[in-house]
Amino acid sequence: MALTYDDVIAKYEPVLGLEVHVELGTESKMFCGCNTVFGAEPNTQTCPICLGLPGSLPVVNAKAIEYTVAVGGLRTAVSDGISGSLVDGHDPRAWSAVISRLLLEPQRRLLLSVGAIKHASHFGWEHTARKTLDVYDWASSQSEAKNLRAIN
């Protein structure tokens, strides 16, 4: 027998989770001053802090914090109103309004949860591999077309 919404709420404790992933364009790492230059030799942009050696003390990258606060939501990871809620800027009142609405509207939380699961399915390995192969196929066809034009 399927449980009703009220049965589910009575049986389980609703938990609201927030998860954020970003790649920041800083010149150094999040917790140390090591460079993050693309293409550098392996193991050359490290120090005792980023290696997690005993006695090392991390220091938060201020620029990373500045960038993180300015983000306000990631538009590829969240489809506003479908798989989550995006908040523009870093106004505490805006964040409070969104969180309050989620707390006061259990049906909205449920819809966003279902939407998030559906939206997340587009970020799995199978989907990523398929899209990567599509890009390779496209690039290969462009290269073949270029070679054919060069021959003619």
Q: How far apart are CA 33 and CA 58, in angstroms?
A: 9
Return the sign of the alpha-carbon dihedral for residues 111, 113, 118, 120. positive
What digits encode the pLDDT tens for the residues 75-99? Answer: 667 788 888 888 876 778 888 888 8
Can you give the C-alpha Rg of the chain in angstroms? 23
What digits encode the pLDDT tens for the residues 17-47? Answer: 666 666 778 888 888 889 888 889 998 999 9
3-state helix, strand, coil in the chain (%, to 5): 50, 5, 50
Please spell the DSSP secondary structure of 92-134, one letter per residue: HHHHHHHHHHHHH-HHHHHHHHHHHHHHHGGGSHHHHHHHHHH
Phi, psi at residue 49, to the nearest 5°? Answer: -70, -55
Q: Which residues of 84-94 are buried (b: 16+ CB within 10 A; e: fewer)?
A: bbebeeeeeee
Q: For residue 143, what is the enclosing H or E element? A: helix 125-151
Average pLDDT over the chain, rounded to whole?
A: 80
Q: Please state the rounded mean pLDDT for residues 47-69.
A: 82
7, 14, 20, 24, 79 from 103: Cα distances, Å? 18, 10, 19, 30, 19
Q: pLDDT band at residue 122, thresholds of 50, 70 and 90?
A: confident
pLDDT of residue 73: 47
